[in-house]
Structure 1
Amino acid sequence: MILGIDHVGLATDDPAGAAPFLAALGLGPGDRGIAGDYGVACEFWRYVDGIGQPSIELVSPVRPDSPVAGRLAKQGPGLYHVAFGVDDLESEFARLREHGFAAVDVQPCAGARPGMRVAFMYARKPAGLLIELVQYS
C-alpha cells in the first residue's frame, strides 16, 4: 500500500547553490547520503517541526554516467521525481506495472538513507512522471 509522499526530488549540479533558496522557504538540512547504485549524492531538507511531512531531496551526480548527470545535460536542473512511501516495495512495484508504469529498475536498490530501499518507475503519458517507491526497514 502507498502510505503517502516521502519526498520530492530536485536534480541539481549545485546543491550548495540551492541551499539558500530552500532555507528561505523555511526548510533546514537533514539526512544526506550517497545512493551508489545510482551514482548520486542526496541531501534531504525539511521543516524543523516537519516530522512526518515530505522532504525535499537535492539529487546531484557523483559520477558522469549517473542518470541524473544525463538528465541535467538534457533538461537542466529542476523537478526530478516524486517519491512515495510504501509498506511493501515488491508488491507495489508489481501492482503499478499492472497499471501501466514502466519499471526503470530491474529490482529495488539501496537508497541514500540508512535502511532505505527504493525502486524507480516511469509513467510516460500523459505526465512524463518519474516516481520512486521507498520502503524503510
Structure 2
Amino acid sequence: MSPDAERGADGRVFAHDILGVDLRGVELVTMSACESALGRFDINDNLHGLPAAFLQAGAAAIIGCLWPVAPDVATTFFGTLYEQLAFSRGRRTAFRIAQSTTRARYPAYRDWGAFCFVGDWRTATDHSQEATE
C-alpha cells in the first residue's frame, strides 16, 4: 500500500487487489481513509467496493469511514479503537467505546457518525464456543 516506483505502484489499493489475497483468519481490517467504507451496487444488486472485497477475501470485519472526517476526529476514534482492542475488548465493544469517546469530544454527527462497522462482531473464541455448544 505504499508507493513503489520500480513496480509502477502509486500506493492506491483497489478491490481487485484485495480479491487476490487470502484473508481468512484476519479478524479485523481498519481503513481510516475518507469514504473507505463506501460500497456501490451494480445493476444486479451485487455489492462492490473495498468492504465487500475484504469480506469476499475472508476478513471477518471491517471498520472504515463513510465520508471525510477531520484528522483530529479520526485520531481520536482510531486511537481509542486500537487502545480498546489492546485491552482485549471484543470488536463490537471496542467500536462502541471508540464511537462513544469520539462523540463525547466531537458531538456533531458529521464527526462521530462517519465510522462504520461491517461484518461479524464475534471473535474467533466466540465461534469456537458456539461449535461446542
TMscore range, shorter length: under 0.3
Task: Output the TM-score relative to the length of structure 1.
Answer: 0.26
Q: Which has the larger radius of gyration?
A: 2
Between structures 1 and 2, the one with greater helix share: 2
Task: Output the TM-score relative to the length of structure 2.
Answer: 0.27
